């Protein structure tokens, strides 16, 4: 049994494989966040957003993490519920928000699809497209920051005492890779506005792939926890408490 434990927790192949897996999640997180930076002119033209409305759309990501303090509460929830439940919940919020944002930009919704009438019934100053995309941006922001905290805790779990600083450095690299790809690929996919929704849907699908990557991670996490428990070497998870 000790051999099995080492093949997972102490194996460099397992550790770096886990790093790549969670690195994908971080990359798609950054990709979706930054994809809209290079699409500003196309968004303002296609959806008739003013500069103020575009700024509202981009900044709405921060609302749950600043005004609702989710960046703080997310850490508390992580300490209380652990990596698997917290990670799945918040990465699901991230994926749901990304899909909702893409839905708000798609032709089906704009031609009167599900939710269009409801979004048209309030705040006439803002278009139904903007309001749906704001809702998506809110949910995406709700999950994105806490998911980064979850990834950090995963790296501590797998790399503590074993190249932890290097793992954190590579984590930053994965994030910057997502930014680079977003800024390079989004304008190309959008084709000067002809395929703007394609570029947005592509970004949202990547976030859904990130959710799938975390589900795969859960399988490894369950296995290593079970084996460490059987060998009596499992560390008791930290629990949040005000002392």
For residues 85-102, average pLDDT? 97
For residues 25-29, average pLDDT? 97
Is the pLDDT assigned to residue 199 strictly greater than 70?
yes
Residue 83 · residue 154 · CB < 8 Å = yes
Residue 7 DSSP symbol = I
Q: What percent of the chain has pLDDT over 70?
A: 91
Is the pLDDT assigned to residue 209 strictly greater than 80?
yes
Task: Give residue-wise pLDDT tens across range 214-228.
Answer: 999 999 999 888 877
CB count in 10 Å sphere of residue 31: 25
Mean pLDDT, the chain, integer: 90
Lowest mean pLDDT among 1-5, 71-75, 119-123, 178-182: 1-5
pLDDT at 162: 85
Fold that domain 2-231 belongs to in CATH: Growth Hormone; Chain: A; (1.20.1250)
Predicted TM-score of the model (pTM): 0.90
Residue 5 · residue 227 · CB < 8 Å = yes
Task: Give residue-wise pLDDT tens across range 151-167.
Answer: 999 999 999 888 899 99
Is the pLDDT assigned to residue 147 strictly greater than 70?
yes
Alpha carbon distance 49, 33 (integer Å):
18
Nearest to 61 by CA among 164, 138, 149, 151: 138
Is the pLDDT assigned to residue 99 strictly greater than 90?
yes
pLDDT at 233: 60
pLDDT at 236: 57
pLDDT at 69: 87
Query: Using only C-alpha atoms, what is the Rg of the chain?
Result: 20
pLDDT band at 3 (very low <50, low <70, confident <90, very high): very low
């Amino acid at each position: 049994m000790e051999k099995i434990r080492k093949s997972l927790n102490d194996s460099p192949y397992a550790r770096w494989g886990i790093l790549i897996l969670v690195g994908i999640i971080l990359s798609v997180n950054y990709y979706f966040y930054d994809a809209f930076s290079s699409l500003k002119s196309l968004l303002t033209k296609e959806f008739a957003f003013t500069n103020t409305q575009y700024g509202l759309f981009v900044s709405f990501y921060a609302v749950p993490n600043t005004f609702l303090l989710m960046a703080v509460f997310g850490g508390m929830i992580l300490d209380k519920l652990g990596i698997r439940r917290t990670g799945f919940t918040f990465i699901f919020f991230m994926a749901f928000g990304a899909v909702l944002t893409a839905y708000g930009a798609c032709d089906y919704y704009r031609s009167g699809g599900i939710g269009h009438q409801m979004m048209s019934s309030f705040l006439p100053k803002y278009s139904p497209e903007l309001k749906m995309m704001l809702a998506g941006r809110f949910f995406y922001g709700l999950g994105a920051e806490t998911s980064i905290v979850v990834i950090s805790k995963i790296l501590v779990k797998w790399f503590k005492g074993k190249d932890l600083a290097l793992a954190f450095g590579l984590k930053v690299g994965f994030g910057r890779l997502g930014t680079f790809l977003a800024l390079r690929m989004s304008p190309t996919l959008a084709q000067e506005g002809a395929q703007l929704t394609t570029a947005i849907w592509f970004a949202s699908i990547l976030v859904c792939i990130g959710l799938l990557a975390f589900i795969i991670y859960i399988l490894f996490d369950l296995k290593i926890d079970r084996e460490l428990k059987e060998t009596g070497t499992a560390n008791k998870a930290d629990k949040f408490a005000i002392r």
